[in-house]
Structure 1
Amino acid sequence: TQTVISTKSETKTVFAPLTVVCDGHFSSLRSKLSQATPEHPSHFVGLILRGAPSDLLPNGSHGHVVLGDPSPVLFYPISSSEVRCLVDIPSSVKMPSVAKGEMAKYVLEKIVPQVPQQLQSHLIKAVEDGQFRSMPNKTMAAKPARTPGAVLLGDAFNMRHPLTGGGMTVALNDIATFQSMLSPLPDFTDPVKTGAKLDEFYRHRTRPALTINTLANALYAVFCSSGDSSMEEMRQACFEYLKLGGGYARGPIALLSGLDPNPLNLVSHFFSVAVFGVGRLMVPLPTPERIFKGGNILAGACKIIFPIVKGEGFTRMFFPAWLRTKLGII
């Protein structure tokens, strides 16, 4: 049921056998259909740098992540003459005021010295132009619930940190899965049959979506500067791991892009990075201090990944759809 109020203050109630709720990031209907609660890990503050991406960026056709302090900074081309910069401001940092000039000061003093030199003058110019745009970043694990006649989709249903740009991949995958599951139905007037197909949608969208969600949130946690030397080592290990190339790079990229939806591969690569970081510490000599720090790296990796997996749902992530169907789990 949908109530529509026109500009003439006339109220009209519309009925449909199935209502698809996809009112986005700031959904006003989410609470009626799900028990999930969004979390706010950070804000993105956006700026536009003017110039050809090939002149501004080390690689003009690629996105770039600067592992800054306190959190990552993103640069990526959006046209032949513009590059977008997204400065991540974690929730642990008080949001600087644009009106009071605090944001400009923050970017100039805190961020500019950390970015590649070829970008610094362009970033300073963008700050001087003062065209700041900000948005809250939200994360929210999917909590599917059976609601006769309604289904949640998109950011209203499930969000991950936008650091990896995985939201659109999840959305397109959800659309394809939704269409595939519901297309055999002639219509949606039979609530039992429609409900069964919606259950199938929830079961089949889970693994690719949760793999992307988990990786995005885990990478954000790793890439943020924590002041913990063990986690700093983990962050550097992640960078060096990807630099190895071959399967060490292809595997994580396949996970990020949704080409590999297997959560076991995600966990494997994540802990491979941690073990790789421990191995780096043991060279040239495994002193007691280095062994202790290595243990902290493994413990830190567990503290990052396990709560995320728990939030997303262990059974939804690791149990195949056919098994969850038998168990009656969506």
Structure 2
Amino acid sequence: MSSSQFQAANEQRRRLHHEADVVVVGAGIFGCAIAFALAKQGRSVLLLERSLKEPDRIVGELLQPGGVSALEKLGLAHTLEGIDAIPVHGYEVIYYGKEVEIPYPSNAGVTGRVGSNEYTNEKGGRPEGRAFHHGRFITQLRKACASQPNITIVETEVVDTITSTHNPQVLGVKSRTTDPSTGEKKDDCYFGQLTVIADGYASRFRKQYIGKQPIVKSKFYALELIDCPLPAPYHGTVILGDASPVLLYQIGTHETRALIDIPENLPSASVANGGVRGHIRNVILPSLPLQVQPCFEAAIQDGKIPRSMPNSFLPPTTQMEKGVVVLGDAMNMRHPLTGGGMTVAFNDVVLLAEMLAPEKIPDLGDTKAIQKVMKEFHWKRKGLSSIINILAMALYSLFAANDRQLKALQKGCFQYFQRGGNCVDGPVGLLAGIIRQPFVLFYHFFAVAFLSIWIVMQETMGSLLGFWKFPLAVEESVLVFWKACVVIFPFIFSEMRA
């Protein structure tokens, strides 16, 4: 049988009998990427999605350079074209009105300091990220999947998995598909040797197969600013002050996304103070750069509460079920402050596709082999995922500082960035998914902690004449160091668990 005949037979098998090598649940970031990667290897793939309309969501709008690199490795770099994607060259941090630019490091600079890394930019110069409308990018990914002869995309709502009666092994999924002639939903089934569940942050299967539930302490409320002059064009802007952080990044020629972090039970966002809109108008608006304020104020004139998304933390879990794996945001999430979610997802796909290659795993129905691969995958992915997970959560703790010690660490972090050189290249290289050495994160975090302690000592004692305040300075320094440990070690420990 020729290759074209084999593909045609598999297509018929998928269309008529609903059978494939792999069933992927969710045609989002992870689902599309893993479906495309496995199909390129010759696997037959069914890609199931509840709605194939272009999504209109405020998540997944910034792709770090490490994610762009992974997209290139997958053969999906073209999905960034034709969607009015904006280059991202780094970050601008504004701390109580003071600004510091933290550009992505040049490849040569990063390599010289931390050894070899997996990111290369063949064009030379500094690496770039991309920012865009999430829905447009998803549409491009789905088009790429639709062009693959080994993929069949089906619009159907997956409601449950199908488990063998002979042993606890997942054989596929149950779904409900709308009959276009009647508009009624009918029960359906799809079968595969391996079922990949990638149904996002609100996964309906997480409780069944993971057990862990996301921790949510705040929400991002989103505005779309039109023709907004940013303090540093082509840079993500982080605004720090008395309120929780605000993010600004351009997602189109005329559109800029503003994300306002609002913790739970925030007094300034209470009903008595006008709720979320009251907080945004009374607290956030005055704290923004002057050139941003007119566009921001225009965006809140409609009187509506802005759309929101939960800022979730979900530590990763080893996948040991038979016939099914849960991946993407359904398995692991971190605070979106650093925009690392898609970078983790695409790099996970690169790694997993390599580990599931036909020459290594000829039969995806070999559950023991799949379980072994998933156990190895859990630990191998941590070279990147643990860095982005820990960094996102630790930085959020500092940037949303709500006590004296966290404020001291926040100030120390900003002054660390002001020093430039490796004090910028190291942290932003980690954030960008370029540096993949967890020790580098540990080093820079505690360098910030010790700088914060030095600042506390200076401010507490004032001068040599204030030497009598030395015991007080030591006490406060110990508290700052303890707070730094309290911030980072729980997230380190969460990455060390299976």
Where does residue 202 of structure 1 map in the other structure?
378
CA distance in 1, matches of 2:486, 2:235: 31
Q: Is the 8 A contact 1:57 1:118 kept in 2?
A: yes
Where does residue 495 of structure 2 map in the other structure?
312
1:194-226 CA-partner distances (Å, limit 9, x unpaired): 222222222211231011100100000011131
Look up the equivalent residue of 1:93 and give its one-letter code.
L
1:35-85 CA-partner distances (Å, limit 9, x unpaired): 221100210101111115xxx211111011111333101111112222111
The Cα RMSD (Å) is 2.0
Where does residue 236 of structure 1 map in the other structure?
411
Q: Is the 8 A contact 1:70 1:90 kept in 2?
A: no
Alignment of 1:142-291 (within 5 A): 142-183=316-357, 184-226=360-402, 228-283=403-458, 284-285=463-464, 287-291=470-474
Query: Is residue 297 of structure 1 aligned with residue 480 of structure 2?
Result: yes
CA distance in 1, matches of 2:321, 2:327: 13
CA distance in 2, matches of 1:95, 1:174: 40
CA distance in 2, matches of 1:109, 1:164: 26
Structure 1 vs Structure 2: percent identity of aligned residues? 37
Structure 1 residue runs without a partner (length 5+): 317-329
SS at structure 1 position matched to 2:192: coil
Where does residue 275 of structure 2 map in the other structure?
102
- Larger radius of gyration between Structure 1 and Structure 2: 2
Task: Name whichever structure is richer in helix by fraction.
Answer: 1
Look up the equivalent residue of 2:218 and give its one-letter code.
S
* Larger displacement relative to structure 2 (303-312 or 165-174): 303-312
* Larger displacement relative to structure 2 (183-192 or 37-46): 183-192
Query: Is residue 138 of structure 1 aligned with residue 334 of structure 2?
Result: no
Query: Is residue 42 of structure 1 aligned with residue 218 of structure 2?
Result: yes
Q: Offset of 1:17 from its aligned partner?
A: 1.2
* Larger displacement relative to structure 2 (280-289 or 152-161): 280-289
Look up the equivalent residue of 1:240 and give its one-letter code.
Q
Q: Offset of 1:23 from its aligned partner?
A: 0.2
Q: Is the 8 A contact 1:35 1:143 kept in 2?
A: no
* Larger displacement relative to structure 2 (167-176 or 13-22): 13-22
Q: Offset of 1:297 from its aligned partner?
A: 0.9
Look up the equivalent residue of 2:484 and give its one-letter code.
A
CA distance in 1, matches of 2:321, 2:383: 22
When normalised by structure 2's length, the TM-score is 0.59
Q: Is the 8 A contact 2:317 2:378 kept in 1?
A: no
Query: Is residue 126 of structure 1 aligned with residue 299 of structure 2?
Result: yes
* Larger displacement relative to structure 2 (127-136 or 204-213): 127-136
Query: Is residue 19 of structure 1 aligned with residue 195 of structure 2?
Result: yes
CA distance in 2, matches of 1:107, 1:213: 28
Structure 2 residue runs without a partner (length 5+): 1-171, 179-183
1:257-289 CA-partner distances (Å, limit 9, x unpaired): 111122211111111100011112333446332
Task: Name whichever structure is richer in strand by fraction.
Answer: 2
Q: Offset of 1:97 from its aligned partner?
A: 8.6
Q: Offset of 1:129 from its aligned partner?
A: 3.1
Q: Offset of 1:302 from its aligned partner?
A: 0.7
Query: Is residue 3 of structure 1 aligned with residue 189 of structure 2?
Result: no
Moved beyond 6 Å, runs of 4+: none
Look up the equivalent residue of 1:170 and give its one-letter code.
V
